[in-house]
Structure 1
């Protein structure tokens, strides 16, 4: 009987778990230990790896063909520039590429892919490596298929030509099934059209009463989108009349929002607006057992209604946004009052920064001097968010739910001729305890609709010179005089 073979288990420099035969060398591998494997299993693994390499070479060749057609049409330089721009405006990147980990988390230093991309502008396509072909073609197709959402699904994974084409095909197939259509096998000749169809299908499904949401793993930063029919969620109690798609918004909330704005305008008193947001956030916290929650938005709508809204949004400062951040009763009873107030205030400042960072992403041709991120579009459930994100570690953000607004099953928020996504949101946090479940997400969506109602009313009723003057420092430290 053939003896088992010793295999070394360790981590490579990119942090990936690696099984290595001693004959292959162990340099650069941080050891965990040895295991003994049947030579038959090792032989199968090597065969699978060899076949995967052959398939990858074939898929790189297909991507090369597509890039060659783009070059023939004079579009290759534009593709390189677009990919570089996309990378700069994705919040978090943590992708394995060959033997390296490409990582950019929460606005950290320039991503190493940008240097590599800029070098391609001066080189002929025929001289590109397989890695460079995969980088430009793969990211171009992923962003066409679903924007940053599709790219972020590769966080924590190996980025290859094979995995890119598989991800796009699965998106097309999944959405085609939901739409009741035949799944047509793709061809590389129509790769860009094929990628665009994934995005078009998703938008059509929004109109047919489907909700897309994401699962986020804070350990790997991987993000995975899912779709579910709103008919499977059950009645949304705050609407009072069924599901949100195609239905009127709750009349009661609209009336309260209108009264709050009327009181604000008549008496220059923001207390009724403050109460509206406090009620919505507190209700969401209690409904799902969160430790704290928040919503953020602009203090004034003037700049965002403007005909020069791009220039105006670029010129905004963090203080032109507000955040209502509130603890649960359980957290208030367990924490030191002064320290809790400081924590809520710090979180609110960070959320004002986030809102400032997202708003310009609603426009094309944002000046390079103004950094921004693409505004979030889908609700998400995140676990172990305090594993790698510095701000989340400090704020005790372990498990989260985020509901960006307006929801994709609603129209964008219209302010003058401008339309916005990611203009406001609802975020809910657990510092410890169990992860949030889907039923928690549905409940959070219910309360986010109340916030949506306010901003729809505000779009009609708030004047350009109106400024929501609450949720400043004195809201968090009411006994402080300076």
Structure 2
């Protein structure tokens, strides 16, 4: 008999909820599936205090301190032991430090650099006129003490001690001249920026601040400097909106300026706002990351824009961009707008990509050469494998994409061990890419339910899409069997790492998808990044991100692609990622080949979405923790999903 007030259906529903809660409390780590989450007696992995960036800084400082040649020590510190271009660190120097390095070692990022002087190592009669200091901060910046500023230890967080740098008397004279020029330049820049902001009026400034708050919030971590002042959305005490600082917070440097008379803005804030606006104007929010880790001055931004202008103008065809007539804000705004327009032209004929230097989180935009033998050889290997595994034909990946679009019905039907052909294609493509690129891991991500997305789009249910959680997304991760050597030679540990990577990639899909939706309140309230549109190659990225450190992600390629669902293009909906834990970095030809692979994945997903829109069903049920456990430990793919 059913107790009063409780129907049989109610008891079944309660039982179903209890079962769901019990399952939710279980570990999703492949090696502990079915066990209660959080019940392990100790952590499976404990970070070494010297893992990642702290260890790199300690090793770099140790090498520099052992050098007898001050010039060689400076080179080691600027490049963090040869892992990053010196140009990035040089552009992070305060104006006094920049002047000191220029007169002491003849080093500068500015054009032309004066390579003739090296006063720190030149023979000088008598004792030094000044004994300065050289240090490395815990953020990776090279710092110098200069006359009248006092010891570094009193104002910087140093990795260790300092190196003493003797200044001969001629260096002091040259330094005084350099600093005088730099001070005059800085004052002129600040005055020009203030005049331009004044001309925009209070409402114009507020609109600009709103845009920049959104830019900081929707962009990957960055750290920028205005002399000793730091503007960042990354960890510690953020000064710009990001993961831990919401727009409007009193600590937000941008929010704090709204409603404040311009006369009360500091010169640092004035220049910061104008420089960020110039960067955004030239290519959208992502351009900010190309200034990451450097000083944010008009001169620095002008140099970045000029380098970009030259790169774009080197591409044949279209209208060339003229250089700025001066470094006045109005001239640079004209240049930034022209660069943005030129960028739209060049992307029709060449592949742009970003080079990421992980230790300093700095990105450099590059223009790729045409695909050559290296890219074609990798593509041919992938095509040969796919032709043996899935019902597609073609001698190139582009031909295979065309074949898929001409006859895509199999993508929504079971294929092999998978519930849909799309899942089979994703797995086989990722597996083929891992082998062809000799990667330790390869992966691709996406959305599990295209029918749910199409239904939500038809009803313009933006809140529903914004509310989807990580389990609504998937990522198929395929490691090399030999990658276990990086994880205690354990297949169990390798499976756990593969699933940890998969979970993180689900987060990335979650983080990007709503960036493609109308900016309604439900979307604006949600944490998201602007979806990526260009691929990138990363070097030594096993430094800051805890997941990268744990998974030993040293070298990588990311190739994002848009997918069309109904009439809406979803940028960054899928991607192909390739990782190496050690060995040789990926190169430009690898990236070009990866772009062709990710295009195939995107085209197949678009074709599946078209079939679903016409009434077919297609749900991705594979690529969960059980699937990764079985695939990695048994060496074969099954579609069971725990």
TM bucket, shorter chain: 0.7 to 0.9
**Structure 1 counterpart of 2:336, from 195, 198, 208:** 195
Q: Paired residue for 2:612?
A: 462
1:372 shift after superposition: 0.5
- Rounded to whole Å, the distance in 2 between the matches of 1:40 and 1:466 is 75
CA separation of 1:362/1:60 partners in 2, compared to 1, >3 Å: closer, same or farther?
A: farther
Question: Is 1:330 equivalent to 2:482 in the alignment?
Answer: yes
1:442 shift after superposition: 2.3
1:3 shift after superposition: 3.8
- Rounded to whole Å, the distance in 2 between the matches of 1:287 and 1:216 is 23
**1:176–1:183 Cα contact (<8 Å) kept:** no
**Structure 2 counterpart of 1:349, from 503, 506, 524:** 503
Tell me: higher relative CO, structure 1 or 2? Use CA pairs within 8 A at least 6 residues apart. Answer: 1
TM-score, L = length of structure 1: 0.87
1:263 shift after superposition: 1.8
1:366 shift after superposition: 5.0
* 3-state DSSP of counterpart to 1:116: coil
Unaligned runs of 5+ in 1: 407-412
Range with bigger deviation, 373-382 or 6-15: 6-15
Q: Paired residue for 2:322?
A: 183
**2:206–2:259 Cα contact (<8 Å) kept:** no
Q: Paired residue for 1:299?
A: 448
CA separation of 1:109/1:43 partners in 2, compared to 1, >3 Å: closer, same or farther?
A: farther
Q: Residue by residue, what CA displacement relative to the aligned partner does 1:201-245 show, whole Å, maximum 9, x if unpaired?
A: 1111111x1110111011000001011243668874469678x9x
Q: Paired residue for 1:124?
A: 261
- Rounded to whole Å, the distance in 2 between the matches of 1:327 and 1:320 is 23
Unaligned runs of 5+ in 2: 1-124, 236-241, 384-393, 635-639
- Rounded to whole Å, the distance in 2 between the matches of 1:44 and 1:25 is 20
CA separation of 1:262/1:271 partners in 2, compared to 1, >3 Å: closer, same or farther?
A: closer
Q: Paired residue for 2:629?
A: 477
Q: Paired residue for 1:8?
A: 133
* 3-state DSSP of counterpart to 1:48: helix
**2:224–2:231 Cα contact (<8 Å) kept:** yes
**Structure 2 counterpart of 1:431, from 581, 587, 609:** 581
Equivalences for 1:283-298 in 2 at 5 Å? 283-298=432-447
Q: Paired residue for 2:189?
A: 59
**1:398–1:432 Cα contact (<8 Å) kept:** yes
Quote the RMSD (CA, aligned, Å): 3.1
1:50 shift after superposition: 2.8
Equivalences for 1:64-213 in 2 at 5 Å? 64-71=194-201, 74-105=203-234, 108-110=243-245, 115-179=252-316, 181=320, 183-186=322-325, 188-189=329-330, 191-207=332-348, 209-213=349-353
Q: Number of aligned pairs?
A: 469
Q: Paired residue for 2:538?
A: 382
- Rounded to whole Å, the distance in 1 between the matches of 2:438 and 2:368 is 23
1:456 shift after superposition: 2.6
**1:295–1:424 Cα contact (<8 Å) kept:** yes
**1:175–1:201 Cα contact (<8 Å) kept:** yes
- Rounded to whole Å, the distance in 1 between the matches of 2:577 and 2:309 is 30
* 3-state DSSP of counterpart to 1:441: helix
**2:375–2:590 Cα contact (<8 Å) kept:** no
1:439 shift after superposition: 2.5
- Rounded to whole Å, the distance in 1 between the matches of 2:422 and 2:401 is 17
* 3-state DSSP of counterpart to 1:157: coil
Bigger Rg, which one? 2
TM-score, L = length of structure 2: 0.67
Q: Paired residue for 1:276?
A: 425
**2:311–2:367 Cα contact (<8 Å) kept:** no
Q: Residue by residue, what CA displacement relative to the aligned partner does 1:233-261 show, whole Å, maximum 9, x if unpaired?
A: 8874469678x9xx776434546x82532
- Rounded to whole Å, the distance in 2 between the matches of 1:178 and 1:270 is 46
**Structure 2 counterpart of 1:405, from 553, 556, 561:** 561
CA separation of 1:46/1:433 partners in 2, compared to 1, >3 Å: closer, same or farther?
A: farther
CA separation of 1:385/1:182 partners in 2, compared to 1, >3 Å: closer, same or farther?
A: closer
Range with bigger deviation, 432-441 or 292-301: 432-441
Question: Is 1:251 equivalent to 2:387 in the alignment?
Answer: no
